[in-house]
Amino acid sequence: MADQLLIAFVFLVAGVVAVPIAARFGLGSVLGYLIAGVAISPILALLHVDLLTLQHVAEFGVVMMLFLVGLELEPRLLWRMRHRLLGLGGLQVAGTTAAVMAVAIVLGLPWQSALAVGLIFALSSTAIVLQTLNEKGLMRSDGGQAGFSVLLFQDIAVIPMLAFLPLLALPDLVGGDVVAGAASGDGHEGGDAGHGGGISLVDGLPGWQTTLITIAAVSLVIAAGNYLTTPLFRFIAVARLRELFTATALLLVIAIALLMSLVGLSPALGTFIAGVVLANSEYRHELESDIDPFRGLLLGLFFMTVGAAIPFDLLFANLASILALTLGLMALKAGVLLVLAWAFRLRGADRWLFALGLAQAGEFGFVLISFALTTDVLPADLAARLSLIVALSMLLTPALFIGYERLIAPRFAVSQAREAEPIDHKGVAIIAGHGRFGGIVNRMMRAAGYTCTVVDYSDAQLRMLRSFGLRAYYGDATRPDLLHAAGIEEAKLFVAAIDGKEQLTELVRYVVKSHPHVHVIARAVDREHVYELWSAGCRDIIRETYDSSLRAGRSALEAMGLSRDQAQRFAAEFERVDRASMVELADLYDIDTPMHQNAAYVARVREMMEEWEAQLRGQAAIAQGGGDAPEPDGDGGAGAAGDR
């Protein structure tokens, strides 16, 4: 027991220390886990830890991740992705396989081994790419969606690859000693354990029977997802035990993964299908919240095992060649992906996100290498080097995302801004940003007979507006030349409704300072943002959720027994007190000091708390027709400290 606890302690300490440090420097959690694995590899070697077994356990995090990804996708959305899934994914696998195979033949490998290497390197890391895309908020971008389509196709393609590899067996290797591969020091070889070995329902069956069993297994997953899960979870809900629901969610994922393994399919593919089937389930969000912590822990363990399994003795003995082959592979894959991105009309930064994000080899490469070794397709020394290349390419992937984020994305943001449309129509008002906030303002202005010049930086939003016959222009409203083209000199009103607190504040500061004749209405994200906009010179500031929150508070009072008029009077008094305090506190706000560290601000809030509470409790008594107001339940009142 002590040995297992010590191993768990080492992994947890490494993750807890390394990941926050990596996040602090903007490196992302994946690179933090990989570095943590590298750091603890000597300790794990001293403890004689079986990294191969640990990695097989940790790979279940990938299975859980694809289940959660499936929950986010409705079947109709997946159907809309079919062209990218088959076209982009299929061409990527075929193109990369052919390119790598050609290079391998030039380097002297027989065509059978070269083809196997091409198939291995055609795959990318589902775990790293999806984790990073979600972490950086890039999953919804065109590049992120294209990358997801390719990754999903690759996960499906692993199945026929495993069936095809034995056909490439080399006569010179048949009957050879493959145990050397397990002893070569990389921790990834050692047979097919966990990836097709052990119990199977299809071993020794004719092909047509295997096909029927496979179809039946997938059909069972779909049918169970549609017809059995809801009654099951309703039955479990009767017990009112949170841990029982969590156990049932884990049971569901493990059962599907087990069934897929028994019929020779990828567990990740099976759980993804189940996730898509359950995407419209009433228990979808509960499933997400129960599975997600396990996914995060297992993925972190997986990344650490990848870092810990790098055979540094082999790397240092062949440093130049291994690095050259790793960088060459990533460059080759990125080149193929760039060509496909151009063919499928990915533009700008999305093209580079797609190419750089999938340029690495993937965790399923370890599976194929192990399988190719045991089926006499690859010699042991080559398998060891291939595993090292796969691990290094995964280790370098977070650096590519950092390069994209810091170098490529800003460059294309600027270049896209220069392509702003010429504005040939000028209105009495300019609305910067036509989302849920600016859109309502525009509709009211149009209904009252005023013409507005609408500028938005979202091409998709503008296409939607134009489909309804509304005039809008593409461009970055923070650029002075675009504001000039929109007629800021003649405009009477400017509505700042763009996304991003910092960009919005700077935009307001520029307009107030450079065009003082224009009345500026600014959208504020929260109370602190109100103070920032106030310090920027704006005096007409609208908190985007404030009015709806007041209405919700009024409804809450009505639900507690007040009449509509009483609740309305109390809400009006609350708003009057709050607005008066906002103006006074705004003069004490220091944009360079957090509110809770601003001594003058905090002192004045404390002084005003009793005044606010007395005023509002008096109004509550009046609203209820006299008598004492109810005692407050807690310490609050109408304080400014917590209102957002």
Which two tokens mark 294?
Answer: 């396990």
pLDDT digits (tens, 9 = 90+) for 90-146: 999 999 999 999 999 999 999 999 999 999 999 998 878 887 887 777 877 788 888
Say if residue 327's pLDDT is above 90: yes
The answer to whether 487 and 453 have CB atoms below 8 angstroms apart is yes
Q: Is 196 helix (H, G, I), strand (E, B) or coil?
A: coil
Q: Mean pLDDT highest for which of 92-96, 545-549, 630-634?
A: 92-96
3-state secondary structure of 495: strand
Give the pLDDT of residue 28. 66
Sequence-distant contacts of 1-9: CB under 8 A, at least 24 apart: 3/47, 6/47, 7/44, 7/47, 7/49
334 — pLDDT class (breaks 50, 70, 90) = very high
d(CA 32, CA 23): 7
Q: How confident is the model at residue 68 (pLDDT cuts 50, 70, 90)?
A: confident
Q: 193 or 37: whose pLDDT is higher?
A: 37
The side-by-side arrangement of strands in the sheet containing 541-543 is 473-474, 452-456, 429-432, 493-496, 519-524, 541-543
The H or E element that residue 83 is part of is helix 82-83
Q: Are residues 98 and 124 in contact, defined by beta-carbon separation less than 8 angstroms?
A: no
User: 452-456 and 519-524 as β-strands: parallel, antiparallel, unpaired?
Assistant: unpaired
Query: In angstroms, how far is the first alpha carbon of the chain from the final one?
Result: 49
Q: How confident is the model at residue 333 (pLDDT cuts 50, 70, 90)?
A: very high
In 3D space, the residue among 487, 523, 492 whose CA is nearest the CA of residue 507 turns out to be 523
**Least confident span in 143-152, 190-199, 633-642:** 633-642
- The reported pLDDT for the residue numbered 77 is 65
pLDDT in tens, 393-426: 988 888 898 888 888 887 776 544 445 556 667 7
* 349-377 pLDDT, tens digit each: 889 999 999 999 987 787 788 778 877 88
Contacts of 419 (CB under 8 A, 6+ apart): 474
Residues, the chain: 644
| Location of structure tokens 């001594």 | 599
Question: What three-state secondary structure class fits 432?
Answer: strand
What tokens were used for 94?
């075929």
Query: Mean of the pLDDT values across residues 139-168?
Result: 82
| pLDDT score for 178 | 40
Q: Which residue has the tokens 């060649």?
A: 321
Over residues 615-632, the mean pLDDT reads 56
Question: What pTM does this model have?
Answer: 0.56
Q: Which of 36 and 458 is assigned the larger pLDDT?
A: 36
- As beta bridge partners, residue 524 has 543
pLDDT exceeds cutoff 60 at 638:
no
Is 568 strand, coil or helix?
Answer: helix
Per-range mean pLDDT, top range of 60-64, 527-531, 620-624: 527-531
Candidates 445, 476, 440; CA nearest to 459 is 476
Per the structure block, which two tokens stand in for 11?
């992994």
Torsion of CA 445, 447, 448, 454, to 10 degrees: 20
Percent of residues, the chain, with pLDDT higher than 70? 85
Of the ranges 92-106, 179-193, 564-578, 587-601, which is most confident? 92-106
